[in-house]
A = this chain, B = another copy of it.
């Protein structure tokens, strides 16, 4: 029953569904059944809470991606591990990636929070870069230019796909993720 953890859990969900600006201590209070003052006891300020959410989210995603690479050495299966996480978010049709949410609210979010999410984005792209580099070297994938640039493209497209999916349906979002994979297939 770690209250701090419960708060972070709900706050993360609210940021993914409503965004940082649009969620409030009152929302958390309603969901958790404790007062706003109690939440302030655990997280003195909203900026404080926002940063904690970003750190926790980064840790979770980082660990999840590391696990994918421990489970398989096949680049396609690794890519599917990433895509699978994206599709999972889309399926609920309500959440987007917290990093993407923060990026699109970049100018109004506490700096510590946007910094943390920017680091996460860099990490994910580095992770993807490695997958693509190995995939191409082994003749399993094909794309032009630097793996790092292609990785950034995959990341950007995934973020866009999630946001697009909320308005246009999970099927459309999945088509985008499929198209990314198709475009990486070796001739």
Contacts and interface: CB of A to CB of B under 8 A. Distances in A.
- What is the copy number of this chain in the assembly? 2
B121 A167 contact: yes
A47 interface: no
B21 A103 contact: no
Interface of A: 17-19, 21-22, 94, 96, 100-101, 103-108, 114, 117-118, 121-122, 143-145, 149-150, 152-153, 155-161, 163-164, 166-168, 172, 175-176, 178-180, 182-183, 185, 187
30 contacts: A17-B107, A19-B104, A19-B105, A19-B108, A21-B21, A22-B105, A22-B108, A94-B107, A100-B163, A101-B104, A103-B163, A104-B105, A118-B168, A121-B167, A121-B168, A143-B183, A145-B178, A149-B176, A149-B179, A152-B164, A152-B172, A152-B176, A153-B179, A153-B183, A155-B164, A156-B161, A156-B164, A157-B160, A183-B183, A187-B187
